[in-house]
Structure 1
Amino acid sequence: MEDINNALDLLLNKLESWGNHIVLLLPNLFVALILLILTFYTARIIRRGLDNVISRFSNSVALNNLISTLLYITLLLIGLFFVLSVLRLDKVVISLLAGVGILGLALGFAFQDIAANFIAGVIIAVQRPIGVGDMIETNDYFGVIERISLRTVDIRKPTGELVRLPNKMVYENPVTNLSYHGTRRVDLEVRVAFSEDLERIQKLVIEALEDVKNRVKARQIEVMFDAFEESSIRFKARFWITYNRQVDYVGAKSDAIIRIKKAFDANNIIIPYPIHSLNFSEKGNRRLGDELQSMRGESTGTSWRDNS
């Protein structure tokens, strides 16, 4: 019975001590509560203002949200550390900082590929070498960018398939941005016969391509002869078009082929087919006629033996 009374006295003394300590901390608790409310309120106001400022310089919604969220969390952590300091819980602050550092290091090793894609996504969003709607070619994929997130670049191929490439692959490998300047050159190979007047061909092709679809009028049409082939002379017709989508390039090239064909037909210009000569005069060291005569003799002999 005496042990129970001693335990109760000890518990009451401890509770009384805690009560006195809480009473002494009431001013600090009041200050800490006000500081915590001000921290949340201030962080929210700064976040809204930062959203308005960042949106003027960056079109990446994901990057804007990331920056504002990181700033918001940082302000909350700073306010929380001040609150703990006011409550004289400095050891808790040190323990939290140490825990955050160790946790960050462990997560960095565990998710280094995700972190690499994340950092590459941030760099792409800041530098903006590519954007949504651009026609690009990278990592053996060709198509229009539909979305750029902090993890992947989504590419829609001309045939409709959606390819999601990790940002790290896009950042570390060559990227051809066909939409960067808004123009693209079309190179078209054509062949004509040796007998044609090449200067006349050059003039006809230039006239035919004057009004080709989407052509940039400020840039000249070029017709350059570049090779003698077995049965023709080859030349390239080159012209520039406005380029936003792949259909602009394909449509302009198709229109150019139609116009050149019509111009050649109207002026009796022939596009030659490849010509191959076959020599039947000898087979091995024997004349073809002797070979055929020998085959007839064998056929006749076989027929006589079958009839008998």
Structure 2
Amino acid sequence: MNNIDVTETLFATLSNYINGLIAALPRIGLALALILLTWCAVAIVRMLIGKFGRRLNLRQNLKDVFALVASTAIWLIGILIALAVVFPSITPGKALTTLGLGSVAIGFAFKDTFENFLAGILILLREPFSIGDYIEVDGHEGRIEDITIRDSRVRMTDGQLIVMPNHTLFSNPVTVRTNRDLRRTTVMCGVAYDADVDEARSVITRAVKNVETVRDDVKDVQIFAQAFGASSIDFEVTWWTGSRPIDIRTSRDQVVGAVKRALDDAGIEIPFTYQTLTFNEPLQIEQIATAQPEKAQG
């Protein structure tokens, strides 16, 4: 084949491409119009979801989830229709089949991501806890600052931030510290064995009730003699206060101080740990005389 034949073949091929492109221009224009309509439909749906979400007092994250799911579905339908218009041989059924095979491979590759995504949707729908709640999960305790579709941000009580995957929150037991406004707290208090148990209980009860942070107007203060300790009768002191960690620490500090002062004023001893030493044979005690310094002679 000479150069003339090669040139003619190239021109013929290029001409066929140009003619095909010209013939496909109406379909391409229609496909672009469909893409534009899809974009408008997504914008309208997002606006409607935001409007109804405000009426239903839905959280912003939950509205974002609904908007994302609806937008993805609309874009998928619009793109499939646009592809079928530009390429008539590609039917929506074939495109969905190809997309399904591809999604299986993508699903295996992004298994953890999809788990966190689905867990985030379920958490936002069920709302087991809210932003601002104090939770404990997997050995971590802190305040929830944000809940996204993929992860949640927990600010620990020492100031550190933990970005926790939603799958961890969904698959592990979560203790919500601030599920209610009040939480019970307990300290142990020991009194000497020679103290009157009933009197000690009364003194401790009055002291705890007089503490400002103790909510005895809602829940009763409970004082129980619990056990015979090594050197004391141990009382379990239980009361209700605010549910935040700072509320618990503050109230414990005030209660311990109030109980200590009340027992001191009543003359009731809070004993140290006593130890008794036993010897098999009697001990011999010797007194060592100290030499007195001689007076200087003048």
CA 1:190–1:90 in 2, change beyond 3 Å: closer, same or farther?
Answer: same
Deviations 1:211-266 (A, max 9, x none): 323222221111111112232211111111122x2110010011001111111121
CA RMSD of aligned residues (A): 3.2
Q: Does 1:271 align with 2:260?
A: no
SS of the residue 2:210 aligns to = coil
Residue 72 (structure 1) aligns with: 71
Residue 153 (structure 2) aligns with: 154
* C-alpha contact (below 8 Å) 1:152/1:167 kept by paired residues: yes
1:44 partner amino acid: A
Which runs of 5 or more residues in structure 1 are unaligned? 294-308
Q: Does 1:128 align with 2:127?
A: yes
Residue 175 (structure 2) aligns with: 176
Deviation at 1:19, TM superposition (A): 8.3
CA 1:177–1:13 in 2, change beyond 3 Å: closer, same or farther?
Answer: closer
Structure (1 or 2) with the larger CA radius of gyration: 1
In structure 2, distance between residues paired with 1:32 and 1:146 = 43
Deviation at 1:110, TM superposition (A): 1.1
Residue 206 (structure 2) aligns with: 207
In structure 2, distance between residues paired with 1:209 and 1:281 = 46
2:178 partner amino acid: S
In structure 2, distance between residues paired with 1:114 and 1:31 = 36
Deviation at 1:123, TM superposition (A): 1.4
* C-alpha contact (below 8 Å) 1:84/1:90 kept by paired residues: no
2:205 partner amino acid: I
Segment of structure 1 superposing worse, 268-277 or 68-77: 68-77
* C-alpha contact (below 8 Å) 1:208/1:260 kept by paired residues: yes
In structure 2, distance between residues paired with 1:70 and 1:115 = 13
In structure 2, distance between residues paired with 1:117 and 1:16 = 48
Deviation at 1:203, TM superposition (A): 1.9
2:220 partner amino acid: Q
Segment of structure 1 superposing worse, 246-255 or 198-207: 198-207
* C-alpha contact (below 8 Å) 1:209/1:221 kept by paired residues: yes
Deviations 1:79-138 (A, max 9, x none): 333344455614264443233212211111112122212221221111111222211111
In structure 1, distance between residues paired with 2:22 and 2:115 = 53
2:95 partner amino acid: L
In structure 2, distance between residues paired with 1:214 and 1:276 = 37
CA 1:32–1:197 in 2, change beyond 3 Å: closer, same or farther?
Answer: same
Residue 104 (structure 2) aligns with: 105
1:261 partner amino acid: K
Residue 141 (structure 1) aligns with: 140
1:219 partner amino acid: K
Aligned residue pairs: how many? 283
1:240 partner amino acid: W
Deviations 1:146-189 (A, max 9, x none): 22222323222222222232222221111111110121112121
1:40 partner amino acid: W
Identity of aligned residues (%): 27
* C-alpha contact (below 8 Å) 1:213/1:251 kept by paired residues: no
Deviations 1:271-305 (A, max 9, x none): 122211112452xxxx543xx99xxxxxxxxxxxx
CA 1:48–1:241 in 2, change beyond 3 Å: closer, same or farther?
Answer: same
Residue 117 (structure 2) aligns with: 118
